[in-house]
Amino acid sequence: MKRAISAMLALAATCSSTLAVSASMPTVDYTVFGHTLPLQVKSEAIAITWNPTEANAYQMPDDLEDFVRSHNLIIQSTGQHHAILTALSGPLTDTSLNALRNHSQVASVQSVLHSPWATGTAKPSATSTLLLTDELIVQVDPSLSATALEVKLQRVGLELVRPLRFAESQYVVRSRSQHGPELLNTAQRLRQFSGIISAEPNMMQASVATVNLPSASQPVEISRLPHTKPNADTSLQQTAWHLDSRHYRGNRLPRTDIHATEAWEISNRGAGVNVAVIDSTIQWDHPDLINQLACPNISADTALPDETCGYDFVEADGDTRLSEAEIEILKPKFQDSFRLSDQQLLANYPGLVQMLGDMRSSEKARIIRGYLRYQVEVNFHGTWTAGVITANSPGDGLIGVAPDAKILPVRVFDLAGFTSTERLIEATGYAAARGVDVINLSLGSLIPSEAFTHHLFDLLDRYPNLVIVASAGNSNLDGVGFPAAIPGVLSVGATTLDGERASYSTYGGQLDIVAPGGDLWLGARGGILTTGGTWLPELWEGLSIPQSAWGYGVDPLGKYVRVEGTSFAAPNVAGVVALMRGEDVGSRLSREELLERLLATASHEALSLSESDHKHYRLQKELGFGTVFDIPFVRRSGIYEPSAPIDAEQYYFGAGVVNALQAVESVQKKF
């Protein structure tokens, strides 16, 4: 297994080295599984943590905010007492950096990095942003005592913070004096000590819930895509083509859905099965989700603070919904996007206006309006994911893939879309410890982590029936992203209503299976229908309800949305696994047996390759190299070198599109 991960990282290192040479940014070296991945330092940005006050933890103290703005820096909150500061033009000056480091309210300053190999482009984006904190995650041999560990840490200027919960022999440690790139060198030194298995930064990184400001060269965003209205006699559920595509494709064309509706007729629809959704905000009080919570029986001595049904590892409480404090952060900008005129909007957001450069004022206002709304919409990524799996409307709403299964909501992403290695380890360990049958990780492409990889291996060994499903990534690259690439994790790519590979979906090496992920360029009907979160009354207080849908919304409030991404292909598969496990009372099938049946019943029958994919496959097959994504960026084919040539269908679709009906029947026939 370690060799497989090492092969993946060797390819990533090759790609990133090419990019580092082609870009002008300075780099620092991140070492994982013995491979060095150059990360680019974003010289125009810095992250800070401020000392806690009695005010809203997400709100920077007024005098510090005034100080930051006096240096012409844009503030992006990335969590409690934390923000990224970006210069409006050019790199941050030494004067600004020193002033921030010496400010009485600034607790620490962190470097902001860019991982180009994760997204296939040398151009920085929110989805590839990393924050280098002053902490490390250290895994030790189980025989090494905490006292012995502290002695080793002291030798390199580190101190023990705490052991990670729900993990084996992993600790958070902190530097006493070293910061940023210096800490990477310290991690290297620490790895040389006996008893130390791994040492790496407790990296904060953006994945699912990230926001990029559109530019003049990207004039089309989701708010401009057509919103198709179903006929008067068409129910909302009928437009969920990923469950049954016949409403759109008729009976003559092959079905491109997962055959969920037929699976419901012969199964218990996932009853008795719990699925952990590890994601961003999960607004479980949505009418179609409120009765779907898994509430494990836990003793007082093992419960986390305020734990009831799931856990929020961002705010450290038992509620994965937006808190009052978070709503107060999101609400003003959200309301500005509806209430302000174009002229008022431009006057209120001069930093964004400057970033957009030279374009018509009306176009700037339109882009900023959509950007402000998207910042709120995308925080409900976890709500979108949960709805795909197990929505169960009491009325005329939505039904998910496994409507009688329950979800354990687990939040790891903050308002700005950042998570950390620490949160991911504890959240997955927590979910497994609470007895879930399936873990869904719609996480995109994270930076590889030895600590997280070792941890997932431990979970898979400790819980032999646990199935972990992860999205393959939206980078349109050959070779799935992390953590989907970890052996033992089921990786899922995305297909469209037309039965083609979604243009964004990662493919090739280590791709296991595909499922509908949507394609909004086909119009609103091309998206995956699921539950939204912007319907919250607190967000609309004092506003008039829009006359029509906006953004991803199907309705004016955004109670339902249509979305796209491998993030929504993965929960389709997680839901099918729940349907299968629901027929396996007592979990008699091992994980390997269950997945063997899942893959064996998948099919390429309704799938077709685009002309572009045909040509790319021909190139890969004949010349032996993969995606030419952004010259001179070249990513080789796959994580594994295939032992034998694979056909084009397997290259792009893995085992094929998941089939809930046949998968359920396969389990039933076993017993």
pLDDT digits (tens, 9 = 90+) for 283-321: 999 999 999 999 999 988 889 999 999 999 999 999 999
How far apart CA 644 and CA 666 sit, in angstroms, is: 28
Tell me which of 78, 104, 131 is where a domain ends: 131
How far apart CA 435 and CA 297 sit, in angstroms, is: 10
Tell me which of 131, 154, 177 is where a domain ends: 131
Single-letter code of the amino acid located at 139: Q
* CATH number of the domain where residue 153 is located: 3.30.70.60
Sequence-ordered strand ranges (E) for 550-654: 560-563, 628-630, 633-634
How far apart CA 194 and CA 372 sit, in angstroms, is: 50
Residue 529's H or E segment, with its range, is strand 528-531
Per residue, what are the HEC states of 430-492? Answer: HHHHCCCCEEEECCCCECCCHHHHHHHHHHHHHCCCCEEEEECCCCCCECCCECCCCCCCEEE
**Residue keyed to tokens 């003049």:** 216
Q: What are the contacts of 544-551 at 24+ separation with CB within 8 A? A: 544/338, 546/338, 548/227, 549/227, 550/223, 550/373, 551/222, 551/223, 551/370, 551/373, 551/374, 551/377
Tokens of 225: 């895509």
- CA dihedral 309→310→315→317, nearest 10 degrees, is 40
Residue 108 belongs to some domain of the structure: yes
Residues 264 and 403 in one domain: yes
pLDDT of residue 59: 84
Residue 332 belongs to some domain of the structure: no
What are the phi and psi torsion angles at 486 (to 5°)?
A: -65, 125
Residue 233 belongs to some domain of the structure: no
Residues 517 and 603 in one domain: yes
Residue ranges making up the domain that contains 310: 238-317+380-536+557-609+649-670
Residue 374 and residue 211 in contact, taking contact as beta carbons nearer than 8 Å = yes
Residue 556 and residue 548 in contact, taking contact as beta carbons nearer than 8 Å = yes
Residues 185 and 290 in one domain: no
Q: If we measure between CA atoms, which residue out of 437, 431, 463 comes closest to residue 270?
A: 437
Residues of the chain where predicted confidence (pLDDT) is lower than 70: 1-25, 116-127, 208-234, 623-645
Buried b (16+ CB within 10 A) or exposed e, 497-507: bbbbbbebbbb
Tell me which of 202, 219, 253 is where a domain ends: 202
Residue 357 and residue 215 in contact, taking contact as beta carbons nearer than 8 Å = yes
Kindly state the percentage of the chain with pLDDT values over 90: 66
* CATH number of the domain where residue 592 is located: 3.40.50.200
Residues 386 and 406 in one domain: yes
Residues 387 and 247 in one domain: yes
pLDDT of residue 640: 42
Residue 297 belongs to some domain of the structure: yes
Residue 323 belongs to some domain of the structure: no
Residue 94 belongs to some domain of the structure: yes
Residues 405 and 459 in one domain: yes
How far apart CA 346 and CA 375 sit, in angstroms, is: 17
Model confidence pTM above 0.85: yes
Residues 71 and 139 in one domain: no
Residue 552 and residue 379 in contact, taking contact as beta carbons nearer than 8 Å = no
pLDDT of residue 234: 61
Alpha carbon 538 to chain centroid distance? 26
Residue 331 belongs to some domain of the structure: no
Which residues are identified as catalytic?
279, 381, 567
* β-strand pairing of 204-206 with 418-420: antiparallel
Residues 484 and 429 in one domain: yes
Residues 108 and 242 in one domain: no
First to last CA, the chain: 32
How far apart CA 586 and CA 670 sit, in angstroms, is: 13
How far apart CA 401 and CA 263 sit, in angstroms, is: 9
Residues 451 and 508 in one domain: yes
* Tally of domains within the chain: 3
- Please write the tens of the pLDDT for every residue from 88-140: 778 998 888 889 989 999 988 888 998 765 554 434 344 578 999 889 999 99
Residue 83's H or E segment, with its range, is strand 82-87
Q: If we measure between CA atoms, which residue out of 6, 284, 288, 12 comes closest to residue 128?
A: 12
3-state SS, residue 276? strand
Q: Please, which residues have CB within 8 angstroms of residue 366's CB and are 6 or more apart in sequence? A: 342
pLDDT of residue 419: 94
Residues 295 and 408 in one domain: yes
pLDDT of residue 411: 98
How far apart CA 576 and CA 275 sit, in angstroms, is: 11
Residues 400 and 503 in one domain: yes
Residue 127 and residue 99 in contact, taking contact as beta carbons nearer than 8 Å = no
**Residue keyed to tokens 């008729």:** 250
Tokens of 264: 């419901």
Residue 371 belongs to some domain of the structure: no
